[in-house]
Amino acid sequence: MANPRQRRKARSGSTLKPSLNAKKQMKKKLARAPTIHGADVLKDNYDPKLTLRQNYARLGLVPSLDVRPNTGGTERAPSSISASSSKEGQAAVRKGMARVIRDDAGNIVDIIEADEHDQDETAWGKPLPSSIADRSDVPTFMPVSQPASNPDALQQLEQIASQAAPVERHTSQKESQWLVELVKKHDDDTQAMAKDRHLNLWQKTEGEIKRAIRKAGGFQALRTSA
């Protein structure tokens, strides 16, 4: 039996379920276009109603894409869909069996046997299906590269790309102090540094220690700062 407090809560309408306005806000968040990370020029000229490839085609950047048909996102020609659907009407002949084709009188006209090459099994089972890129019955195509709708945006993107420079990485103060202690104890023996249980608390490999020392300026710079 419900107590008076539970009755008051039921009458007040307080519930843990989301309200109607909260549901609307959640639907808006789900329907919102994803955030585009990149140059401001690309953000301003990006159409959220189009796909990524269509946006690149609109900007005239399709040839710069590394297209791999088996990674998804490619569009098939309408003719290929009808051709594939017509072939699926006939069931494939299993290995070791055959299909007998007869005429109206019941006479054998043709015998279709299974293709041994396609259904050949190995010691590990059936071979994996070939990639779409290797199949000739599934033509894939990319949107045709159109003239850039905004040539100024394309020029700005090319200018940004020409001015790109590698980001210079700096060693933190704590990491530099740790490397100084390693060099002070083991000199240039990076293998001993990797095996040191007391100083190498993070279990860095020999290659990681070498890269960290190279980024910090080398052994000589660490020896002088010791």
Q: List, for residues 126-145, the tens digit of each pLDDT value.
A: 666 655 555 565 555 555 55
pLDDT given for residue 117 in this prediction: 58
Residue 65 DSSP SS3: coil
* Amino acid in the structure at residue 146: Q
CA angle 57, 62, 63 (to 5 degrees): 150
* Mean local confidence (pLDDT), 107-131: 69
Query: What is the pairing mode between strands 108-113 and 98-102?
Result: antiparallel
The two tokens of residue 210 are 């070498």
Rounded to whole angstroms, the maximal C-alpha distance in the chain is 100
Question: pTM of the prediction?
Answer: 0.38
C-alpha span between 22 and 7 (Å, rounded): 25
* Mean local confidence (pLDDT), 172-186: 94
Task: Say if residue 170's pLDDT is above 80.
Answer: yes
* Mean local confidence (pLDDT), 96-124: 76
| Site of tokens 């006479």 | 107
Q: Is 80 exposed, middle or buried, given 0-12, 13-18 or 19+ CB atoms closer than 10 A? A: middle
Q: Is 208 exposed, middle or buried, given 0-12, 13-18 or 19+ CB atoms closer than 10 A? A: middle
pLDDT given for residue 26 in this prediction: 84
C-alpha span between 87 and 134 (Å, rounded): 18
Any bridge partners for residue 125, and if so which?
122
Task: Say if residue 87's pLDDT is above 50.
Answer: no
pLDDT given for residue 69 in this prediction: 47
